[in-house]
Structure 1
């Protein structure tokens, strides 16, 4: 039984670190784009995403062991915000970002 409990702790730690990494990536990425890009694709404002993902990042940090099991539900909610940003918002913002357009033109030549 102790082996299973130890294995569960390792898996939980790995998942918590992965969730923190995803939240950190989403938060840093959302800072890269201007507010006008967010508004151009009608995906709230940059301020909204910075606050939402910042709170999510804080929850992911707090959710790392040893506190993790007590607030796992909040971490899951925060993780959803990061996933939504990375899978829905980010690709649309990236598509309208002028920096990406100039890079894409240079690669086609």
Structure 2
């Protein structure tokens, strides 16, 4: 039984660290684009995403051990915000950014 509990702790640690990395990636990425890009694709404002993802990043940091299980619900909510940004908002904001608009196209 001790091995199973140790394995469960290791899996929980890996998932918690992965959630933190996703939040960190989303937060840093949202800082890269201008507010006009967010408004152009009608996806709230840059300030909204910076605050939302910043709070999510703080929750993900707090959820790292030793706090761990006591913060899991808040960590899941924060992770959802990061995933929504990375899968829905980021591709659209990136598509209207002049730095990325012409990549992949050949003249």
The interval holding the TM-score normalised by the smaller chain is: over 0.9
Q: C-alpha displacement at 1:68, in angstroms? A: 1.2
Q: C-alpha displacement at 1:101, in angstroms? A: 1.6
Give me the CA root mean square deviation: 0.9
> Could you tell me which residue of structure 2 aligns to residue 16 of structure 1?
16
User: How far, CA to CA, are the matches of 1:29 and 1:23 in structure 2?
Assistant: 10
Q: Which segments of 5 or more consecutive residues in structure 2 lack a partner in the other structure?
A: none
Over 3 Å off, 4+ runs: 102-105
Q: Which segments of 5 or more consecutive residues in structure 1 lack a partner in the other structure?
A: none
1:49 has 2:46 as partner = no
**Structure number having the greater helix percentage:** 1
User: How far, CA to CA, are the matches of 2:13 and 2:4 in structure 1?
Assistant: 14
User: How far, CA to CA, are the matches of 1:56 and 1:68 in structure 2?
Assistant: 15
Q: What TM-score comes out, normalization by structure 2 length?
A: 0.97
